[in-house]
Amino acid sequence: MTDDDAPASLEKGERIAKRIARSGLCSRRDAERWIAEGRVVVDGHKLASPAHLVTEASTIVVDGKPLRAAQATRLWRYHKPRGLITTHRDPQGRPTIFERLPADLPRVISIGRLDFNSEGLLLLTNDGALARRLELPATGWLRRYRVRVHGELDAARLEKLADGIEIDGVRYGAIQATLDSRKGSNAWLTLSLREGKNREVRRVIEALGGEVTRLIRIAYGPFQLGYLAESAAEEVAARVMREQLGSGDGSTSARKRGALRERADRRR
């Protein structure tokens, strides 16, 4: 059982790593690492375990500074351009999205990633715990991509992607692939998938004999890229966020709505 599933008897406290993540200071994974490094002190005691429970009465200090109050959860849609990496720091010195975000955004965390040469919809939040929940495979959110491909692709093999595919010992789940247009040796596809493994779209297209020359994510779960301008960020209204995330874990009502949309798309 995870702490997200903790019984009511533990509602009087929450795990310190989760509390730090809710402050917007970092993700829960980073908070766990900071605790292991001895950077977190609670009520005068340096912590060694991220399982430590804290309450509103706890005095929490990170790197010698009092932890700020937990922020209200906020969510943004961001149109990531090509040529940026989705990380706060890059050992290779490549530019990151966090260096190019609009100046009026608070510290945010990305929900999932898009690689250096990919573009399109990226969700951002100030709540590390929310980011972690929405990235979990159990959430099952549909990711939809527009993909420009160079090379001849066999329509029958594209259709068989609905059964999944194994590449170099890695099993990829069902992918719905639609051929939208073709001009010479180039084609545009729409791909819909739920797993979102590292470089999944590129690896699958390469296995089919094609080369991805442009990759645009147009939807992540119930959220759409729409007409959001490149490099722009737009906050999701609190009411919309509550409706789409349901109980807050993003896994029930949003997944049902996504399944209904998917069935509707297949009937068109």
Residue 58 vs residues 50, 165, 246: alpha-carbon distances, Å: 15, 50, 30
Please tell me whether residues 133 and 228 are part of one structural domain: yes
pLDDT tens digits, the chain, 268 residues: what are they?
333 333 333 357 889 998 888 887 887 888 999 999 999 999 999 998 898 999 988 999 999 999 988 778 899 999 999 999 998 888 888 999 999 999 889 889 899 889 999 999 999 998 877 888 888 777 778 999 999 999 988 889 999 999 999 999 999 999 999 999 999 999 999 999 988 788 999 999 999 999 999 999 999 999 999 999 999 999 999 999 988 886 443 334 444 444 444 444 444 4
What is the CATH number for 259? 3.30.70.580
Q: Is residue 5 part of a domain?
A: no
Its domain, for residue 227, covers 75-138+222-267
| Of 4, 90, 115, 249, catalytic | 115
Taking the model in full, what pTM does it have? 0.75
Which tokens in the block code for residue 157?
């093999």
Please tell me whether residues 211 and 250 are part of one structural domain: no
Which tokens in the block code for residue 97?
């999205």
Round to whole Å and give the CA distance between 143 and 219: 6
Active site residue 163: no
Q: Is residue 4 part of a domain?
A: no
User: Which residue, among 193, 250, 239, 220, has the nearest Cα to 79 in the 3D structure?
Assistant: 220
Please tell me whether residues 226 and 134 are part of one structural domain: yes
Looking at residue 69, its pLDDT comes to 81
